[in-house]
Amino acid sequence: MVGKTVTRADLTDAVHREIGLSRHESAKLVEALLGMISDRLTAGESVKLSSFGSFLLRDKNSRMGRNPKTGEEVPIESRRVLIFKPSQGFRNRVDKALSRQD
């Protein structure tokens, strides 16, 4: 699966295979989970999934940037960004899996 993007359909199929729910119920479950995560983040809350990671909102201050093509200084507005911070266990699993591929 190297280089493949996991889609909602892939998640739905995995739930269907692993748990045994119907495809329709699996799709509803995936949509409900993603919807709940989205709702919490849009409400300004962080989301922590144990043994997986945290979705955090971070405020970035305004600053001066530079247009790489022209070199002209350009102001960058302050904004709120979404970041994902993987848990240590998740990072270890990914590192271990990737080191086996080398």
pLDDT digits (tens, 9 = 90+) for 28-61: 999 999 999 999 999 999 999 999 999 999 999 9
Res 101 pLDDT > 90: no
pLDDT band at 102 (very low <50, low <70, confident <90, very high): low
Relative orientation angle of helices 8-19 and 23-42, to the nearest 10 degrees: 130
Neighbours of 12 (CB within 10 A): 20
Q: In this predicted structure, what is the pLDDT of residue 1?
A: 45
pLDDT digits (tens, 9 = 90+) for 85-94: 999 999 999 9
Task: Locate the domains of the chain by residue range.
Answer: 1-44, 46-102
Domain 46-102 has CATH 2.40.50.140: no
The half-sphere exposure of 99 on its side-chain side, counting CA atoms within 13 A, is 6
pTM score: 0.76
